[in-house]
């Protein structure tokens, strides 16, 4: 295997110039405008007066990530196995979606590109691109079969030259900084072609509820040494991430002005504003954290403020209070930040990670924490506390990490991070109940 594969050149040599692509898309838009559109604003997630709407009605939900849905389908095609309903892995994904529908959930969040550096390769190489779109077609078909809508994460930040070779990361010419900070980079050109083609292919499918740019790019901002190099990779600044989100959102909206766009960007590191201002790992205040979010979202065409929340054995993330002592930035704090920026809040990943009792520090801090989701009596109070915090704060949209991972390692892991109706019925029931409580609180008679 080559240590670096220039997959961007591979496809761009045969690609139309981006200007021609844009003109073609505009032409397609003019043609479709003469016809009755297949999808209207009621069919997708929208925001009116600060509230989410879906199917023409106010919408709120605590549902699930199903991160491996596309991955499992794609891997079957790679192995030469057709995506027929008789395929056991297809049947497993179908059953998971049926379960979610029967439990009252309307949407899920998915990673709609193969994992890590193999994602761009799956688009760049023509044979693999056929498999990618066949798997995406099947994913959309299965979701529409069970009336499940998708938060569709593009995985944009993976369009770099980084490769995984024999279990080791190998950096090429373009790192994450080049992709994020340079609109004229090769990676950005391939990313835009991928977005144009993918949005055009699926924008008239009702299953697509909202587009998402990437996953947790904000956590890479301003980290590493004085030159922002971390683990051999050049990383972007928070301002460069903000510009990247703005530019990619504009690209998505040019192809599909109907749907909302969110970042998938996660929460901020507790020292993010100080890191951005080259002041080191000094803990932020609440106002510092607001400044970070305002930099990303305050003047951006992105529609939704997105965080990821893994409080584990704590009630939130620790920041510095007015007196310099630790205070907790919790869901109410994030809701306050979103209200100031005047965009709705979404928790794209919500969850708890079991921790083995070998972690002495955590178990000294929280002796009644849980070691495994299999230990329901220990896990359930923490799961319910996390859910109650979301409901109490009135966060309108959250996705638990995660529903039914079908990777073999996850199926046999005692400390599995995923839950399913068959394996964890009590914990899933807790999430179902929280979803019902959230809807009653935020929607009431509007349901």
CATH number assigned to the domain comprising residue 93: 3.20.20.80
Nearest by Cα to 77 from 65, 87, 86: 87
Residue with tokens 């044979």: 127
3-state secondary structure of 10: helix
Helix (H) or strand (E) holding 303: none
Distance between CA atoms of 175 and 192, rounded to whole angstroms? 17
Residue 32 forms part of a structural domain: no
Percentage, residues of the chain above pLDDT 70: 91
pLDDT tens per residue, range 394-423: 999 999 999 999 998 888 888 889 999 999
The DSSP code for 268 is P
Residue 440 makes CB contacts below 8 A (sequence gap 6+) with none
Helix axes 88-102, 69-78, angle to 10 degrees: 160
pTM (predicted TM-score): 0.91
**pLDDT recorded at residue 445:** 58
**pLDDT recorded at residue 447:** 55
Residue 250 forms part of a structural domain: yes
Residue 246 forms part of a structural domain: yes
Distance between CA atoms of 209 and 43, rounded to whole angstroms? 8
8 Å CB contact between 312 and 355: yes
Residue 8 forms part of a structural domain: no
Q: Mean pLDDT across the chain, nearest whole number?
A: 91
pLDDT tens per residue, range 108-163: 999 999 988 889 999 999 999 999 999 999 999 999 999 999 999 999 999 999 98
Q: Nearest-5° angle of CA 255, CA 261, CA 265?
A: 130
Residue 21 forms part of a structural domain: no
Residue 14 forms part of a structural domain: no
Q: What percent of the residues of the chain are helix, what percent strand, and what percent coil, each to the nearest 5?
A: 45, 15, 40
Q: What is the pLDDT confidence band of residue 349, given thresholds at 50, 70 and 90?
A: very high
Residue 288 forms part of a structural domain: yes
Q: What is the pLDDT confidence band of residue 361, given thresholds at 50, 70 and 90?
A: confident
**pLDDT recorded at residue 195:** 98
Mean pLDDT of 194-215: 97
Residue 218 forms part of a structural domain: yes
Q: Which long-range contacts (CB under 8 A, 24 or more apart) does 172-177 make?
A: 172/4, 172/6, 173/4, 174/8, 175/233, 175/234, 175/235, 176/217, 176/220, 176/233, 176/234, 176/235, 176/236, 177/228, 177/233, 177/234, 177/235, 177/236, 177/240
Phi, psi of 309 (to 5 degrees): -130, 115
8 Å CB contact between 295 and 333: no
pLDDT tens per residue, range 7-27: 444 444 434 444 444 444 444
Distance between CA atoms of 112 and 214, rounded to whole angstroms? 10
Q: Tell me how many domains the chain contains.
A: 1
**pLDDT recorded at residue 20:** 43
The parent domain of residue 238 ranges over 47-446
Helix (H) or strand (E) holding 234: strand 233-234
Is residue 116 left, alpha or beta, with left meaning phi > 0 and alpha meaning psi from -120 to 50? left
Phi, psi of 417 (to 5 degrees): -90, -15
């Amino acid at each position: 295997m080559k240590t670096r594969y220039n997959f961007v050149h591979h496809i761009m040599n045969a690609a139309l110039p981006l200007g021609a692509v844009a003109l073609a898309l505009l032409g397609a838009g003019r043609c479709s405008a003469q016809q009755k559109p297949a999808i209207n604003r009621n069919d997708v997630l929208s925001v009116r007066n600060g509230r989410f709407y879906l199917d023409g009605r106010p919408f709120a939900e605590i549902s699930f990530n199903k991160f491996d849905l596309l991955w499992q389908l794609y891997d079957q095609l790679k192995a030469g196995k057709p995506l027929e309903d008789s395929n056991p892995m297809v049947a497993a994904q179908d059953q998971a979606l049926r379960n979610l529908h029967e439990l009252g959930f309307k949407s899920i969040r998915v990673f709609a590109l193969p994992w890590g550096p193999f994602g761009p390769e799956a688009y760049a190489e023509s044979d693999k691109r056929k498999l990618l779109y066949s798997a995406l077609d099947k994913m959309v078909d299965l979701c529409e079969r069970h009336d499940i809508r998708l938060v569709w994460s593009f995985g944009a930040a993976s369009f770099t030259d980084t490769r995984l070779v024999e279990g080791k990361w190998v950096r090429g010419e373009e790192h994450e900084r080049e992709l994020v900070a340079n609109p004229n980079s090769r990676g950005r050109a391939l990313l835009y072609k991928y977005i144009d083609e993918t949005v055009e292919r699926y924008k008239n499918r009702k299953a697509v509820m909202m587009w998402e740019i990437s996953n947790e790019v904000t956590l890479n901002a301003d980290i590493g040494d004085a030159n922002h190099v971390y683990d051999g990779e050049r990383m972007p600044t928070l301002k460069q991430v903000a510009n990247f989100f703005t530019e990619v959102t504009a690209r998505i909206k040019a192809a599909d002005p109907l749907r909302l766009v969110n970042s998938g960007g996660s929460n901020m590191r507790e020292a993010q504003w100080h890191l951005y201002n080259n002041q080191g790992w000094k803990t932020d205040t609440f106002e510092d954290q607001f400044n970070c979010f305002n930099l990303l979202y305050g003047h951006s065409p992105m529609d939704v403020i997105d965080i990821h929340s893994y409080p584990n054995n704590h009630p939130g993330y620790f920041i510095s209070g007015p007196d310099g002592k630790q205070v907790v930035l919790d869901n109410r704090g994030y809701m306050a930040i979103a209200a100031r920026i005047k965009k709705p809040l979404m928790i794209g990943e919500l969850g708890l990670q079991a921790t083995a009792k070998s972690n002495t520090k955590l178990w000294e801090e929280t002796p009644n924490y849980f070691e495994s989701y299999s230990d329901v009596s220990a896990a359930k109070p923490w799961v319910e506390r996390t859910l109650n915090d979301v409901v109490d704060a009135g966060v309108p949209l959250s996705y638990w990490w995660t529903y039914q991972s079908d990777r073999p390692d996850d199926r046999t892991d005692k400390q599995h991070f995923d839950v399913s109706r068959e394996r964890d019925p009590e914990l899933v029931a807790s999430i179902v109940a929280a979803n019902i409580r959230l809807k009653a609180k935020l929607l009431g008679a509007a349901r």
